[in-house]
Chains A and B, each alone.
Chain A
Amino acid sequence: MSTLPLPTERESSSPWGRVTRALPTVLSSLLAIAIALLAGAVVLALSGANPIPAYEALFAGAFGGRRELAETLVMATPLILGGLAFAVAARAGLFNIGIEGQMVVGGLCAGLVAAWDPGLPVFIHLPLAVLAGMMAGSVWGFIPGFLKAQTGAHEVITTIMLNYLAYRISTVVIGQENFPLVNPALQATLPALENARLPRLIEGTRLHAGILIALAAAAVVWFLLYRTVFGYKIRTVGLSPGAAAFAGIPWGRTIALAMLLSGLLAGLGGTVDALGLQGRYYNVTLGIGFTSIAVGLVGRNTPFGVVLAGLLFGALASGATKMQNTAGISRDIVYVLLAFVILSVSALAVAQQFRQAKRLASRARGMTRDRAAQDAGDPLVEPSPPSRAI
């Protein structure tokens, strides 16, 4: 069965143990990125562009100065949240390809609430707008989770369809001529009121409080996944539905809730962009949702990894702008790099799983010979696990 490249290493509570065991995984993620960058350079070269100034501009745009670093953090913010969304769903065994749509509805609702003016003070209006975004995202995430729980509908297709529906809803709402909260000409909501914006952190940069929210969310997700019963249920369901049933963990309810949480995080991602960066919601797709998938995968679906990967991809995004302005390379090359990263990660993950299988097999004591053959991958005696039907 094709499985997610989850860390099949033991998950334990000892911090040092976790760090040392995570090292090979971190290295392989870095290796994947290096390979992707190399492949990207080949693509650039083949299409007649010089990769060296392009990559120079990329790195300069990401790390070149105080403003650039701030910009990297700005770009990283929604990616971290999107990556967390992917990771939470992945832990439950689901592929949330609908992060894009969840961000759209989250940003839209947050933008609308933020533009609404009943004269609320900041400590009510801002949380309210954020809450609206989170709730919209969680509904959009809950739907495919619920459908899968009830009917078995594969979440890849349902989330993708919901993406398209989200774009449509956004276009319809933003396009309403008579709706006071939107500006159809600008293809956006009206500007968010001062009281509903995330504060700027550093003057002269675009860095806003969203990054703090993202980091806090990562900590909360970690705690939830590894220190609560709910998180334990999610991880059990994702790793072994059979064991989950044995433990009396309701599969349907758990995955639906996991998707709700995933959508909530994605919606939060759309929200912080609207309320922190843009100051309003724009009806335009930025592909952040798809990038979040790469963030989750490279981050190995762990909160810590997702933060690191989010920062990395934020660097890529902020560098891409500079690359476009300076070296004249279209920003779309970033999608290509993204795809290469995903391909490398998935390839390396297989190699890692295989190495791990060998390591575990050799550590087993008292193992019988034919059992060792079984565990080394002989399917002739052990029945195969159930396949994912799509």
Chain B
Amino acid sequence: MRGRRRTLDELLSFFSVALLTATLRSAAPLVFAAMGGLLAERSGITNIALEGFMLMGAFAAVAGTWFFHSPLIGLIVAVVVGAVGGLVFAFWTVTLRADQIVAGTAIVLLGLGLTSFLTEHIWGQAGSSPPVERLPTIGLGMNILLPVAFLLVPLTHWFLFKTKAGLRVLACGEKPEAAQAVGIDVARYRYAMVVISGLLAAVGGAYLSIGDLSQFTTNITAGRGFIALAAVIFGNWMPWPTMGAALLFGFAQALRFQVQALDLPIPQDLIIALPYLLTLVAITGLLRRSTPPAGLGRHPTGG
């Protein structure tokens, strides 16, 4: 009897407010990047560059905060950098029509290289920036960006399924030739969605560097951009299920600290590896059948 009550207590204290907030905090950057990725993919562009945008955003936020002594300005810098990154990626994939996976990989490498290089170049120390001021918090350790992340979800849903522009975006992703045949400028909508994806992913990165931590470290994202894309796939390219997937992955990440705090006999390495294992399982589609936008990766031609 006593043993069972103790386990129950342990269980309840496990699923504490701390775990909940930790989950939300871990999931928030994923949600930013995932919503961006979702929009880009819905318009028909495969977007594995999210990791690169997140890194650039994380770095830009710290740099902006450091130079202008204000985390809000840092956030704005991150937004601009993310949009520019998205513009470059859009140019390569929509205008030049280069291979989207190759270009995405290049953006990720660019993000890695540029941010590491500039970190060392600006602050002279390899590996991390000096600490900077954080974004304002709203209690329980959550910063102001966190509710924004989750507000994005219904916003994305509303945009895609309740607006005229959203219908066009969906058309571009389902069958770009058909969209073009009714006079829709497919390239313009794809550019817009990709730039937004860069912007949002960069905000997700900023969340990591000036929201959660207060500095930029090399590879601060540690694959979150890819996990965000996995969330989109797992969520079947629909906003709410994608958020659910992001929460799941965030939960896996939050578990690490909770396990530490409670001193549970689960090896830490397994917990660290959990998000990646989970992504692996999710992506194999064992759990659901996936229906991507039918025109993903396709271009309309003509002229």
Contacts and interface: CB of A to CB of B under 8 A. Distances in A.
30 contacts: A2-B100, A95-B105, A147-B284, A151-B285, A152-B285, A161-B279, A164-B223, A165-B280, A290-B105, A330-B121, A335-B110, A335-B114, A335-B116, A336-B109, A338-B109, A339-B113, A342-B103, A342-B106, A343-B110, A346-B96, A346-B103, A347-B92, A347-B96, A349-B99, A379-B177, A379-B300, A387-B292, A387-B297, A389-B292, A390-B46
B226 interface: yes
Contact of B96 (A151, A333, A334, A350): A350
Given A165-B276, A342-B106, A387-B297, A2 B99 contact: yes
Interface string B163-205: 0000000000000010001000000000000000000000000
Contacts of A172: 269
Contacts of A349: 98-99
A154 interface: yes
A95 B279 CA distance: 18
A334 B280 CA distance: 30
Contact of B107 (A160, A339, A379): A339
B270 to A, nearest CB: 9
Given A4-B99, A336-B114, A350-B97, A156 B280 contact: no
B158 interface: no
Contacts of B114: 43, 335-336
A165 B273 contact: yes
B284 A151 contact: yes
A347 B112 CA distance: 21
Contacts of A335: 109-110, 112-114, 116-117
A384 interface: yes
B302 A153 contact: no
B48 interface: yes
B229 A168 contact: no
Contact of A343 (B92, B101, B113, B229): B92
Interface string A333-368: 111111110110111011000000000000000000
Interface of B: 41, 46, 48, 92-93, 96-103, 105-107, 109-110, 112-114, 116-118, 120-121, 126, 177, 181, 222-223, 226, 229-230, 233, 269, 272-273, 276-277, 279-280, 283-286, 290, 292, 294-298, 300-302
Contacts of B101: 2, 95, 156, 388, 390
A53 interface: no
A333 B106 contact: no
A171 B268 CA distance: 12
Contact of B226 (A49, A157, A330, A389): A157
A65 B41 CA distance: 50
Nearest to B100: A2
Contacts of B302: 377-380
A293 interface: yes
Contacts of B103: 342-343, 346
Q: Which 7 A-B pairs have the closest CB atoms?
A: A335-B113, A339-B110, A332-B116, A389-B292, A346-B98, A342-B106, A336-B113
Interface string A167-178: 010011000000
Candidate in B101, B292, B302 with the most chain A CB atoms within 10 angstroms: B101
A202 B226 CA distance: 43
B113 A334 contact: yes
B121 A49 contact: yes
Interface of A: 1-5, 43, 47-49, 95, 97, 147, 150-154, 156-158, 160-162, 164-165, 168, 171-172, 290, 293, 297, 330, 332-340, 342-343, 345-347, 349-350, 377-380, 384, 387-390
Contacts of B117: 47, 330, 332-333, 335-336
B122 to A, nearest CB: 8
Most chain B beta-carbon neighbours within 10 Å: one of A154, A333, A380: A154
Given A47-B121, A165-B273, A290-B109, A5 B102 contact: yes
A161 B280 contact: yes
Given A165-B277, A387-B297, A390-B41, 8 more contacts: A158-B283, A164-B222, A335-B116, A387-B295, A388-B296, A388-B297, A389-B296, A390-B297
Nearest to A351: B96
A160 B98 CA distance: 22
Nearest to B114: A336
Given A153-B283, A168-B272, A161 B298 contact: no
B105 A342 contact: yes
A331 B52 CA distance: 19
Given A157-B226, A165-B276, A390-B233, A346 B106 contact: yes
B99 A346 contact: yes
A286 B110 CA distance: 16
A55 B116 CA distance: 19
B295 A339 contact: no
A175 B51 CA distance: 28
A378 B302 CA distance: 6
